[in-house]
Amino acid sequence: MSFIYPRVIQISRPTPTTGIGALPYQALSSSSETILFSGINASIQHRGSNQLKAGLPADANSGNEWIILFMLPNGSVWERDVITDELAKRYQVNTAYWNSLGYQCECERLQT
């Protein structure tokens, strides 16, 4: 940890569901995710509020948007990846923007 990146995160990717026909609704759970990176120093900043979209149980329904900044190579993080902080709070990546200073991810907090 450092003054600029005082938090520690882990990044995981949901495992795709396979099947044919109508599949049951499946919420995001850490048991169905593959851990990509762990022990990454980060900065987590509150950005503001948004409206609940569909009202499904796995929606990020905290009504809050968050910006998470960290250093990883370009292409490491995708939209819909899940970031978990050291307090076990989970965030779903809506937008992963990379520049020469690292990633800036716009996220929503998951409640499941």
Closest CA to 85 of 46, 47, 40: 40
* Prediction pTM value: 0.77
Which residue ranges make up each domain of the chain? 7-14+32-110
- Binned at pLDDT 50, 70 and 90, residue 26 comes out as low
Cα–Cα distance measured from residue 88 to residue 68, given in angstroms and rounded to the nearest whole number: 15
CATH-assigned architecture of domain 7-14+32-110: Beta Barrel (2.40)
Amino acid symbol at 45: Q
Residues 27-48: tens digit of each pLDDT: 565 566 899 999 999 999 998 7
Residues 41-76: tens digit of each pLDDT: 999 999 876 555 566 666 655 457 899 999 999 999
